[in-house]
Structure 1
């Protein structure tokens, strides 16, 4: 089910960055953002989420996210909207019935369950940025990395390392590679950004590479 929202209007900011990005030919327009829905985090995480949303909007990107009115999810999405981007929310029917959705989306899609939610987000997005989050966020970004590893997409996958939040996860990724549970080429599948601007720069300059997905490339050697 798709719900079009007409209740909320935001000003559109036309910037040099927006015009330049519209001329960019890497075909990235809709950016999926995975993030925490917690309202009890340190301020540094909300600051980065809002800054990322602002930069996405200013640079002509739209956002696809989980549709929540909570946490880093809405902190980012609300700024995308304020600075000229369109916002698509995707939420399972069970969560929607709990009232944790926002009316600030341009489009709102209700799915049967969590798997359908991820599939829809994947279907309609051109890139992925992951902010700090819990187990749900970790599950989402892991699936996107594996899909790219197996050649199902060539989307840019960015992990925003606010306040060093993902340092330990990145170290674990390195251990997986060093112990040969994954190929060393996995490092090229995702990008660890240290700031929101770093994430935007990578997004704007991203060029998909031809991933060799035969058995020798998928598995460690």
Structure 2
């Protein structure tokens, strides 16, 4: 594993803990020799994780759509900033560049990025680890909803197990290293993916 995409908010959130834990993750990425791939902004949690990775000596690749260059204040101090035409291109480029995905707290855009790579994993489009840094128990209600999906038979337990949930960034990264994807259903042929 060389590069990890981080999905997160362009705002700071209601609690300082979100910024602190984003900074801690960025530091751990650099210390573990991992390149951060993220949305390219210098504001909010996005900026915090990027700045911490850079400060700790790591490399950071930002991927930002042209339309967000001003709105999200594109980070100009990155190792590399890739400007794309659309949000769809941003997500596709981040997936292509990355060996795994970590979701920090964020809003609908963050959730959309998470659910897209999660769905791709279920369909066999990739076998990369997907993690959530559950800062301040931010994702507890979503995790409970996943349990509800299983109870109502809209989600298989083995698919829920694809999501690695931790509160500590280093433990999350260690689980990434040891990740073994679940067996895909027989209707998905690995030769076709």
Q: What secondary structure is seen at the aligned counterpart in 2 of 1:88?
A: strand
Match of 2:104 in 1: 131
The answer for the alignment partner of 2:146 in structure 1 is: 173
4+ residue runs over 4 A deviation: none
TM-score (normalizing by structure 1):
0.81
Q: Does 1:192 align with 2:165?
A: yes
Query: How far apart are the structure 2 equivalents of 1:104 and 1:151?
Result: 35
Unmatched tracts of structure 2, length 5 or more: 189-193
RMSD between aligned residues: 1.5
- State the partner residue of 2:125: 152
**Separation in structure 1 between the aligned mates of residue 73 and residue 36 of structure 2, nearest angstrom:** 18
Match of 2:191 in 1: none
- Residues of 2 paired with 1:197 and 1:162: CA distance? 13
Unaligned stretches of 5+ residues in structure 1: 1-27, 216-221
Q: Deviations over 1:150-182 (max 9, x none)?
A: 000001000110010000000001101110012
Query: Could you say which residue in structure 2 is the equivalent of 1:77?
Result: 50
Q: Which residue of the partner structure matches residue 78 of structure 2?
A: 105
1:68-110 CA distance string (max 9 Å, x none): 0011111111111122221000000011144610111111111
2:12 is aligned with 1:39: yes
State yes or no: 1:56 paired with 2:52.
no
Q: Cα offset for 1:190? A: 1.0
> Cα offset for 1:128?
0.1
Q: Which residue of 1 aligns with 2:137?
A: 164
Q: Using a 3 Å threshold, how does the CA distance of structure 1 residues 181 and 79 change in structure 2: closer, same or farther?
A: same
Query: d(CA) in 1 for partners of 2:55 and 2:176?
Result: 20
Report the TM-score, using the length of structure 2 for normalisation. 0.92
Write the distance in 2 (CA, Å) between the matches of 1:99 and 1:57. 24
1:175–1:209: structure 2 CA closer, same or farther, 3 Å change rule?
Answer: closer
Shift of residue 45 of structure 1?
0.6
Greater C-alpha radius of gyration: 1
CA shift in 2, pair 1:213/1:73, >3 Å = farther
Contact kept in structure 2, 1:130 and 1:158, CA below 8 Å: yes
Corresponding residue number in structure 2 for 1:19: none
Q: Which residue of 2 aligns with 1:204?
A: 177
Match of 1:16 in 2: none
